[in-house]
Amino acid sequence: MSQIGKQVVDFEVQAFANNAFKTVKKEDVLGKWSIFFFYPADFTFVCPTELEDLANKYEEFKATGAEIYSVSTDTHFVHKAWHDTSDTIKKINYPMLADPTGVLARGFDVMIEEAGLAERGTFIVNPQGEIVAYEVVAGNVGRNADELLRRLKALQFVAEHPSEVCPAKWQEGQKTLEPSIDLVGVI
C-alpha cells in the first residue's frame, strides 16, 4: 500500500542531538521539509556509512530548509554511546531519534516485527506533514545522500511550481517540463 500522501503519525520521542538529549514531536516537523532516515541499529556495519554520508551533506540539506532525522529502535542513550565511541558517528549534527517502542517504525511501516528493528527506509515529508517520497532498501545495501538531496530539491521545486514536473536525473537549475498535450508522444 502506498505511503504517498500519508500523514506522519503523532509521536513524541527522545533524541540525541548536539551532545544533548531532547524531545522531538510531530509538531516539531510541521512547517518545514523533513527527512526520516530509518536504519536497523547502532554499532553495525552499513548504517554508519550511510549516516556519515548524510553528515557530510548535512549543511546542503539545511540550506534547502530541511531537517534530517535518523531513526533506529535504539534508545537515545545508545545513540550517545555510539556518538562518543565512533569517529564516524561523531560527525553527525542532525538529530538521532530513539524509537525503542517502534512508534515511528510502525507509523512509517518499516518495522521488522520479529527482529524489533527498522528496515532501511527513507521518507521525505513536506511541511504539511505528508509523505511525498520514500524508498525502502534491503538491509545489506546502503543509500546515497546525493540522490536523496537531488530528490528533495526536485520535490521542493514542484511544490513551488505546481504546473511543472522534473524529468529523470533533473538537477537544480536545469530545465523542467510543463505537461501539455503538445508533449504527448514527443518525448
Cβ neighbour number for residue 25 with a 10 Å cutoff: 11
Residues of the chain with pLDDT under 70: 186
- pLDDT, tens digit, 9 for 90 and up, residues 94-144: 999 999 999 999 999 999 999 999 999 999 999 999 999 999 999 889 999
Note the pLDDT of residue 176.
85
Note the pLDDT of residue 32.
97
Catalytic residue among 8, 13, 47, 149: 47
Note the pLDDT of residue 20.
97
Host H or E run for residue 117: strand 117-118
Q: Which domains occur in the chain, in start order?
A: 6-143 (3.40.30.10)
Q: Which of 77, 104, 94, 95 is nearest to 11 (CA)?
A: 104
3-state secondary structure 126-185: CCCCEEEEEEEECCCCCCCHHHHHHHHHHHHHHHHCCCCECCCCCCCCCCCECCCHHHCC
Host H or E run for residue 37: strand 33-38
- Identify whether 166 is a catalytic site residue: no
| pTM, 2 dp | 0.94
Note the pLDDT of residue 178.
82
Note the pLDDT of residue 180.
75
Q: Give the C-alpha separation, 62 to 67, whole Å.
A: 6
Facing residues of 21 across strands? 16
